[in-house]
Amino acid sequence: MRSFKILPVEMKVRDFNLSKDALKRLYWMDWYFSHGKNAEATCRHFNISKSVFYRWLPRFNKFNLTSLEFDTKLRKPHHLREMITPKEVINLICQIRKNDLEKSKYEIRAELKHEHGISIGYNTIQKVINRHPELTNAYHKKKLKMHRRFKIARLRAAKELKEKYLGSLVQIDTKYLYILTSRFYLFVAIDCKSRFAYTQAYKTISSSSAADFLGKVIDYFPFPIEAINTDNGSEYLLNFHKLTTELDIPHYFSHPHTPKENSRAERLIQTVEYEFFNYQDDLLNDDLDEVNRRCDIFNIKYNQKRYHHSLHYQTPSAYIKSYLEKGGQPFSI
């Protein structure tokens, strides 16, 4: 067991209540004082820089070995900078903020300038707010904390999922639809591999409507859905995302303002409008059931009668049949 020569009494290493780092520094000091106080030789022996050694040498006290411990306490300076803002202005800022905790530093600055003729930087106003706890908006912080707690991780779908197999990635999107004076929300879903699609209209664009639509898509598609891709709309959060979690279906999101990542659903919306609803001149009733009856007609036309260039001029239903006959993924009916 190592004993040190520089200490007032002979002590063993086991007698010290020091951290590993402090004990390592004690080895430096013991070697330094027992070898003629040669700092360069000490640094070379322990492979440390001179700046590190000279930082600890003045701190070392052989009567107080805790001086070699790293002091993590903040060293507060003796003289602190103080705000040069007049006390009257600080009191005025506090008064304005207390009357309305929702008022931002920019609004306070404008009020001071126009109503009191005081020109002051908004960073100074923020410092005043930070130094007075009673001026903080506790409700806003609580609301922000709750929002972060319910925040959903935005996963991104890999490109190879689009053409992997049937149901490997289904894209879903929403488009508003005006019929007479009524506004409907058209939900669309399309399988990236087979172009098999489904459309349905709703009166609201809530997450409950999106969750109901997802349930109908799962029942309508002739194969299981392995993953879903949507944009970042609020209708695809809460109930919709909760349903995907319950069904153990991965829910991927597109990057913001990047519709090309949900391109096949976007193209399906264009097809629904240009090739179908623009020609429904006899649709003079804004009843939701009648609109959905027309959506059912489009679903049959798109999946069983429309030939797709991307499928080598096959219908989606025919493509699914030929894909499975060649030994593709089995599906449920």
- What would the mean pLDDT of 151-157 be, rounded to a whole number? 85
**29-63 b/e with 16+ CB inside 10 Å = b?**
bbbbeeeeeeeeebbeeeeeeeeebeebeeebeee
Task: Find which of 23-27, 60-64, 311-315 is predicted with most confidence, using mean pLDDT.
Answer: 311-315
pLDDT range class, residue 5, cuts 50, 70, 90: low
Starting from the edge strand earliest in sequence, which strands make up the sheet with 228-230, in order? 197-202, 182-191, 170-179, 228-230, 251-253
Name the nearest CA neighbour of 128 among 89, 100, 77.
89
Name the nearest CA neighbour of 173 among 118, 224, 134, 230.
230
Quick one: pLDDT at residue 332? Answer: 41
CA gap 13, 2 in Å, rounded: 6
Cβ proximity of 161 and 283 under 8 Å: no
Cβ proximity of 222 and 206 under 8 Å: no
CA gap 199, 78 in Å, rounded: 71
State yes or no: pLDDT of 107 exceeds 60. Answer: yes
- Read off the tokens for 51: 């700046």
Task: Please report the DSSP string for 69-92 in residue order.
Answer: S---S----SS-----S-HHHHHH
CA gap 140, 306 in Å, rounded: 53
Q: CATH number of the domain at 159-325, out of 3.30.420.10, 3.90.1170.30, 2.60.120.10, 3.10.450.50? A: 3.30.420.10
In the chain, the amino acid numbered 244 is T
pLDDT range class, residue 247, cuts 50, 70, 90: very high
* Lowest pLDDT segment from 49-58, 144-153, 217-226, 261-270: 144-153
Sorted by sequence, the CB contacts under 8 Å of residue 321 that are 6+ apart come out as none
Task: Find which of 102-106, 179-183, 210-214 is predicted with most confidence, using mean pLDDT.
Answer: 210-214
pLDDT range class, residue 304, cuts 50, 70, 90: very high
CB atoms within 10 A of CB 78: 4
Q: What is the pLDDT of residues 264-290, one digit of tens each?
A: 999 999 999 888 877 677 776 778 898
pLDDT range class, residue 1, cuts 50, 70, 90: very low
Name the nearest CA neighbour of 132 among 99, 80, 97, 87.
97
Sign of CA dihedral 200, 204, 208, 210: positive
- What would the mean pLDDT of 94-121 be, rounded to a whole number? 92
Quick one: pLDDT at residue 151? Answer: 73
pLDDT range class, residue 333, cuts 50, 70, 90: very low
As a whole number, the mean pLDDT across the chain is 87
- What would the mean pLDDT of 169-192 be, rounded to a whole number? 91
Count how many residues are written for the chain: 333
- Read off the tokens for 317: 């239903």
Q: What percent of the chain has pLDDT over 90?
A: 60
CA gap 101, 117 in Å, rounded: 22
Sorted by sequence, the CB contacts under 8 Å of residue 148 that are 6+ apart come out as none
CB atoms within 10 A of CB 7: 16
State yes or no: pLDDT of 102 exceeds 70. Answer: yes
Cβ proximity of 235 and 241 under 8 Å: no
pLDDT range class, residue 181, cuts 50, 70, 90: confident
- Segments making up each domain of the chain, as ranges: 13-68, 87-141, 159-325
What residues form DSSP beta bridges with 230? 253
Q: What share of the chain is helix, strand, coil (3-state, %, to 5)?
A: 50, 10, 40
Quick one: pLDDT at residue 2? Answer: 55
CB atoms within 10 A of CB 283: 15
